[in-house]
Amino acid sequence: MITKHLLAGLAAASVALGAITASAQETTLRGVSAFAQGTTFSQPWEAFVERVNETGTGVIQIDYIGGPEAVPPFETGNAVQSGVVDIANVTSAFYPNLLPAGGALKLATNSIQDQRANGCYDLINDMHRQQVNAHFLARTGDGIPFHLYLTQPIDGPDLSGLTIRTTPVYRAFFTELGANLVQTAPGEVYSALERGAIDGYGWPVQGMLDLGWEEQTTHRVDPGFYQVDVNILVNLDVWEGLTDEQRGVLEGAAAWVEGENANNEGINADERAAQEAAGIQVIQFDDAQTAAWLQNAQDAGWAEVAEIDPDAAAALRGCLTNAG
Ligand code: 173
């Protein structure tokens, strides 16, 4: 009897040990990007994946499945939420259905490092955990402004009579300026321009040359406004199931890729020079119009978030516009 009990005990112990061993083994996450592979807004994510795969050997790896051909951009948030994918590179503008107040992230005037220091990161992460079923792992795109690009010049900040391609990033501001808006994924902008279906589009200062849009673009309006947020999200159940060591590899790569945001100012300058060389002309308003342009952008953006979720807007505004 004693032997029998001992054997049973040993068997139970080895099952438990087996489970521990299995969970400590290398795990592989399936990841996608909402932006085309190899293009500007996939590049930080791709460098992050490489970093995880180098530093996480034997611990955690990422299998980068692909871009918008794998999951359509506006479906990427849903894919993370449901666990169709484990990890994704996506801007909050592509998951407003899940995080309606996410439009605040682009209104930040401070950096993700400031947000980690002042508690804003925790607030944003909690919102993602509750509303997106995702852990907010990293933010890239800091320091990259958005612009209005056109196929014809304009005299002042008035877009009435023009049809402009949008996403939730530009919607409130361009509506305020009187534009007719058409929402498309980035992959549809070129053909919309080619068909003459749009007179312009919103896009960051970086990346339009990557996509060949300079062939269909004559002007960029300066100054830029807002600040890109392209975020790395991990399905929450997957995140909770990782070991501390596995999470540590992801967090180490996240801190590294967020540090790379410091390069954006220099890259922005290179992109402006390359756009000029490609024949893009800059429309620069006078000082009063420039000040009004920037103020309108910010006011329209915050008004939109406040209408959706006044409490979240107030809390986020406090910490996204405060470098301390
Ligand atoms: O214009 C867009 O498609 C958009 O919203 C966006 C957001 C972040 C980076 C690049 C584009």
The residues that bridge with 220 in the sheet, in sequence order, are 149, 282
Confidence band for 2, pLDDT divided at 50, 70 and 90: very low
Which residue owns the Cα nearest ligand 1 atom 7?
A: 91
Coil/strand/helix, residue 220: strand
Coil/strand/helix, residue 54: helix
Average pLDDT over residues 160-169: 98
Which residue owns the Cα nearest ligand 1 atom 9?
A: 228
User: Which of 184, 228, 231 best tests ligand 1's pocket when mutated (most atoms within 8 Å of CB)?
Assistant: 228
Coil/strand/helix, residue 158: coil
Of 267, 265, 235, nearest to 137 by C-alpha is: 235
Ligand 1 contact, 186 CB (< 6 A): yes
Confidence band for 322, pLDDT divided at 50, 70 and 90: confident
CA of 73 to the centre of ligand 1 (A): 10
Give the relative orientation of helices 244-259 and 43-55 as an angle to the nearest 10 degrees. 140
Using only C-alpha atoms, what is the Rg of the chain?
A: 23
CA of 91 to the centre of ligand 1 (A): 7
Atom of ligand 1 nearest to the CA of 93: 5
Domains of the chain listed by start with CATH number: 4-95+132-143+228-264 (3.40.190.170), 146-227+274-320 (3.40.190.170)
Residues 44-86: tens digit of each pLDDT: 999 999 999 999 999 999 999 999 999 999 999 999 999 999 9
Whether residue 12 has pLDDT greater than 80: no
Confidence band for 8, pLDDT divided at 50, 70 and 90: very low
Dmax over CA atoms of the chain, in Å, equals: 94
Confidence band for 24, pLDDT divided at 50, 70 and 90: low
Ligand 1 contact, 169 CB (< 6 A): yes
Residues 75-122: tens digit of each pLDDT: 999 999 999 999 999 999 999 999 999 999 999 999 999 999 999 999
Ligand 1 contact, 80 CB (< 6 A): no
Residues 220-250: tens digit of each pLDDT: 999 999 999 999 999 999 999 999 999 999 9
**How far, in Å, CA of 320 to CA of 42, rounded?**
24
- Give the pTM: 0.92
How high is the pLDDT of residue 304?
98
**How far, in Å, CA of 212 to CA of 222, rounded?**
20
**How far, in Å, CA of 192 to CA of 182, rounded?**
10
Whether residue 21 has pLDDT greater than 70: no
Give the chain's end-to-end CA distance (angstroms, integer): 69
User: Of 7-21, 56-70, 184-198, which range is least confident?
Assistant: 7-21
Range list of H helices, the chain:
2-24, 43-55, 76-82, 112-118, 120-131, 171-176, 189-194, 236-241, 244-259, 264-277, 287-308, 310-320
The one-letter code for the residue type at 291 is A
Of 39, 98, 54, nearest to 74 by C-alpha is: 98
Whether residue 272 has pLDDT greater than 70: yes
Q: Which helix (H) or strand (E) holds 282?
A: strand 281-284
Atom of ligand 1 nearest to the CA of 94: 5
How high is the pLDDT of residue 324?
56
Ligand 1 contact, 131 CB (< 6 A): no
Of 167, 223, 228, 221, nearest to 43 by C-alpha is: 228
Ligand 1 contact, 203 CB (< 6 A): yes
Of 172, 105, 169, nearest to 142 by C-alpha is: 105
**How far, in Å, CA of 161 to CA of 181, rounded?**
10
Average pLDDT over residues 193-212: 98
More confident residue, 13 or 314: 314
Ligand 1 contact, 68 CB (< 6 A): no
Ligand 1 contact, 230 CB (< 6 A): yes
Ligand 1 contact, 167 CB (< 6 A): yes
Our separate counts of H helices and E strands in the chain read 12, 11
The one-letter code for the residue type at 90 is V
* CA distances from residue 31 to 52, 65, 70 in whole angstroms, order as listed: 12, 6, 10
User: Which of 40, 169, 267 best tests ligand 1's pocket when mutated (most atoms within 8 Å of CB)?
Assistant: 169
